[in-house]
Amino acid sequence: MEQQLLPEEVRGRIHRLQLAMGHAGIEAFLITQHVDLYYYTGSMQAGYALVPLEGEPTFYVRRSVDRARREAAVRVEPLPALRIFRAALELDYPAVFATGRAAKIATEMDVLPAQSFMKLAEMIKGEGSSALVDGSALIRRIRMIKSPWEIGRIEAAAGIVAEALTEAANVLREGLSELELMARIEYELRIRGHVGAMRTRSYNMEIMTGMIGSGEAAAEPSAFDGPAGGRGLGPAAPQSVSRKLIKRDEPILIDIGCCVDGYVIDQTRTAVIGCLPDELAAAYVHSEAIIHRTEQLMLPGAVCETLYANSLQMAAEVGLSANFMGFGADQVRFLGHGIGLEVDEWPVLARGFGDPLEPGMVLAVEPKFTFPGQGVVGIENTYLITDQGPRQLTRSPEGLIIVP
């Protein structure tokens, strides 16, 4: 069942943000993105939230003020027209926005549209030399560590995925289309509470409830930043399921998620009607070997890029480097990614991410192998990092799903 975000949860998040702002020399944070607004206020209504270095934040709401006041755990005020917003800020936060001051105000430049940024930057500047600076990394790093409440929401989503996959597997048969199978899975997810959306932070990257790809359709390259995007329903929807009919003896990649109270689980299982070709069956076994070895290494303090390098080495040792995480120029350069309110959170198991794992991080690990013209095989689990090591949150049984 749905659970409203608790006020004490929001207060803890604001406190951590204010501590980070103090270390970075930032006097206020102007939050603009809807997911970040939910994270720091408890409401996803349209507007901006201002978090000062000291004192209480305010959620300035354009629409709906009434609903925001019912939902938010912070002060809510109507958002004035932009031309007088600065005056409202000066009145509410004189220590930051006094005329002539040169304050450093952070915002999420990784997601803020350029036009909106220019308008807000001009408003923030006022008659002085205050400036908007990029605070994206502060928020993304804070959101890497999940609270028990957040973990509970992800676990609820994991339970729904496991139930939905079990029910949908009953209809899997030769001649069923990818679209029909996905429709059944989505039905099973929705009636159990999936909100129907899975959010991403990356510009121009969309994600459906998931991707079901059978045979060559799963291996078809796409713009999606993942090891398998799927054929999709045409150039206007160039990823996920197609109308291809599922055949015997070909891999069926079932990469699905679920969102409960904004929080997402990510899971992949591989199925086949009959049996896989020997080469693909062996590759599937290697995908499980990689994920199990990664589990052993996912201890607090383990470095993200080291875990990725180990997976590359394991793929190379069995002669599958060319097929690992995509094929050719379309290979992606990661093994796993953080997950929570968005599918593409930090940390990332990839080169250049020197972050050590910490308790409270939640990551989806997805070793997959692509064979052009034949299909994609692999597995994906979502894990919580604890003091004792990783705890698997995904609940569907591992192993190849074999339909006679």
**Burial grade of 296 (CB within 10 A; 0-12, 13-18, 19 or more):** exposed
Going from N- to C-terminal start, the domains of the chain cover 7-142, 145-403
CA distance linking residue 294 with residue 380, whole number of Å: 12
DSSP string, 188-244: HHHTTT--S-----STT----SEEEEEGGGTTS--SSSSS-----SBTTB-SS--SP
Share of the chain above pLDDT 70, in %: 100
pLDDT tens digit sequence for 101-150: 889 999 999 999 999 999 999 999 987 788 999 999 999 999 999 999 99
**Burial grade of 397 (CB within 10 A; 0-12, 13-18, 19 or more):** exposed
Average pLDDT of the chain is 96
pLDDT tens digit sequence for 339-393: 999 999 999 999 999 999 999 999 999 999 999 999 999 999 999 999 999 999 9
pTM exceeds 0.85, yes or no? yes
**Which CATH class, in words, describes the domain spanning 7-142?**
alpha beta
Q: How much is the pLDDT for 281? A: 98
Q: How much is the pLDDT for 2? A: 78
CA distance linking residue 352 with residue 152, whole number of Å: 30
Residue owning tokens 């209504």: 45
**Which CATH class, in words, describes the domain spanning 145-403?**
alpha beta
Give yes or no for residue 100 having a pLDDT over 90: no
Give yes or no for residue 31 having a pLDDT over 90: yes
pLDDT tens digit sequence for 158-182: 999 999 999 999 999 999 999 999 9
Confidence of residue 56 (pLDDT cuts 50, 70, 90): very high
- The whole-number average pLDDT for the span 10-24 is 98
Lowest mean pLDDT among 1-15, 29-43, 248-262: 1-15
- The whole-number average pLDDT for the span 293-321 is 98
Nearby residues of 241 by Cβ (< 8 Å), 6 or more positions away: 177, 178, 179, 181, 182, 211, 212, 213, 230, 231, 232, 233
pLDDT tens digit sequence for 75-86: 999 999 999 999
- The whole-number average pLDDT for the span 259-279 is 98
Give the amino acid at 196. G
Share of the chain above pLDDT 90, in %: 94
Q: How much is the pLDDT for 127? A: 79
- The whole-number average pLDDT for the span 278-301 is 98
Q: How much is the pLDDT for 128? A: 79
